[in-house]
């Protein structure tokens, strides 16, 4: 089963950015997509790269997206068409969002604990066991959670 979350998410954002009359014009859709890609980050930027929305993109299949988009084809169907051209598009995932106020750190994977520390630009020197990471996050939580409020 493929996940089209990033693809559908990008197309929805593009749809919302375009004026009503621009949504049926391929050139306007392509221009809007290229503009969107300039500020895209993370998996959305990767999607732009695969479709050809960035200058450094290796392939350019923007037309495969803009043409059916201009026909008001549902976003999921457009993504399924893109999947036929490049399977990597549907391998993209949004990062998991962890709510630190409610989550039980002991139930998270070490990978997720490392990501929390990395997002805070913090290190855990000498951490080996999961309990070491949990302890370090608990220590830093007081500092970083205040900033987010």
Measured CA to CA, the distance from residue 143 to residue 84 in angstroms comes to: 47
The pLDDT of residue 46 is 95
Pair 72, 112 in one domain? no
The pLDDT of residue 90 is 79
Residue at 76 is within a domain: yes
* Helix runs in 40-91, H state only: 42-51, 62-70, 75-85
Determine if the pTM surpasses 0.75.
Answer: no
CATH number of the domain that residue 26 is part of: 1.10.225.10
Measured CA to CA, the distance from residue 149 to residue 146 in angstroms comes to: 5
The pLDDT of residue 1 is 46
Residue at 100 is within a domain: no
pLDDT at 114 over 50: yes
Pair 70, 117 in one domain? no
Pair 55, 127 in one domain? no
pLDDT at 15 over 60: yes
pLDDT at 86 over 60: yes
Pair 10, 68 in one domain? yes
Number of structural domains the chain divides into: 2
Measured CA to CA, the distance from residue 67 to residue 78 in angstroms comes to: 9
Q: Determine the structural domain holding residue 129 and report its residue range.
A: 105-148
Pair 41, 86 in one domain? yes
Residue at 99 is within a domain: no
Pair 72, 18 in one domain? yes
pLDDT (tens digit per residue) in 16-32: 999 999 999 999 999 99
| Mean pLDDT, rounded, for 77-88 | 93
Q: Which of 115, 136, 135, 106 is nearest to 124 (CA)?
A: 136
pLDDT at 146 over 70: no
Residue at 97 is within a domain: no
Pair 65, 15 in one domain? yes
Pair 112, 66 in one domain? no
Measured CA to CA, the distance from residue 87 to residue 92 in angstroms comes to: 10
Structure tokens at 27: 């050139």
The pLDDT of residue 149 is 44
The pLDDT of residue 21 is 95
The pLDDT of residue 100 is 86
Pair 65, 138 in one domain? no
Pair 85, 131 in one domain? no
């Amino acid at each position: 089963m493929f996940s089209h979350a990033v693809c559908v998410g990008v197309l929805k954002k593009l749809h919302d950015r375009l004026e009503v009359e621009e949504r049926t014009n391929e050139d306007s859709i392509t221009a809007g997509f290229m503009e969107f890609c300039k500020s895209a980050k993370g998996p959305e930027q990767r999607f732009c790269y695969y479709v050809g929305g960035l200058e450094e993109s290796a392939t350019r299949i923007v037309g495969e997206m803009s043409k059916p988009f201009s026909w008001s084809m549902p976003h999921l169907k457009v993504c399924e068409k893109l999947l036929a051209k490049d399977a990597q598009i549907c391998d993209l995932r949004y990062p998991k969002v962890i709510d630190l106020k409610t989550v039980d750190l002991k139930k998270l994977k070490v990978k997720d604990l490392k990501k929390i520390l990395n997002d805070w630009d913090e290190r855990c020197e000498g951490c080996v066991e999961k309990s070491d990471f949990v302890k370090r996050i608990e220590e830093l939580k007081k500092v970083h959670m205040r900033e987010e409020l």
